[in-house]
């Protein structure tokens, strides 16, 4: 995941997303650099317009439902927990669609 974040950071700063820059950012974060993953991500992003991919990604908005006045507090928490996995899955699907 750190490689994707590094690529997004480089793109945001208008730096070239290449192996050297990506490795530098990952090293600076304190993580171990896996050269195979770096090469793979750079190759996967070669033909991707990151701006368009970010714009096209679905945005998962996690809005907590308003608790019902008659329902005990415990029930409102159960409902919230039921919705969180769906929102998290949707967010992960959107992120994975960006990069492959």
Q: Are residues 84 and 36 in the same domain?
A: no
How many helices, marked H, and strands, marked E, lie in the chain?
A: 5, 0
What does the pLDDT look like over 51-93, one tens digit per residue? 888 888 887 666 666 666 665 565 555 555 555 556 666 666 6
Q: Are residues 5 and 44 in the same domain?
A: yes
Q: Are residues 3 and 38 in the same domain?
A: yes
Q: Are residues 86 and 42 in the same domain?
A: no
C-alpha 93/C-alpha 78 separation (Å) is: 24
pTM of the model: 0.56
Which helix (H) or strand (E) is 30 found in, with range? Answer: none
Domain count, the chain: 2
Q: Which domain holds residue 99?
A: 57-100
What's the pLDDT at 33? Answer: 93
The domain boundary residue, chosen from 55, 72, 89: 55
CA distances from 44 to 48, 86, 97 (A): 8, 27, 12
What's the pLDDT at 60? Answer: 65
Q: Are residues 51 and 64 in the same domain?
A: no
C-alpha 40/C-alpha 17 separation (Å) is: 12
């Amino acid at each position: 995941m750190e490689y994707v974040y590094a690529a997004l950071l480089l793109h945001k700063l208008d730096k070239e997303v290449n192996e050297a820059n990506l490795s530098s950012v990952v090293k600076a974060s304190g993580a171990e650099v896996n050269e195979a993953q770096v090469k793979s991500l750079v190759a996967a992003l070669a033909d991707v317009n990151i701006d368009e991919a970010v714009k096209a990604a679905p945005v998962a908005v996690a809005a907590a439902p308003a608790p019902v006045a008659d329902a005990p507090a415990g029930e409102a928490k159960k409902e919230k927990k039921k919705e969180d996995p769906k929102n998290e899955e949707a967010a992960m699907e959107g992120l994975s669609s960006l990069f492959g």
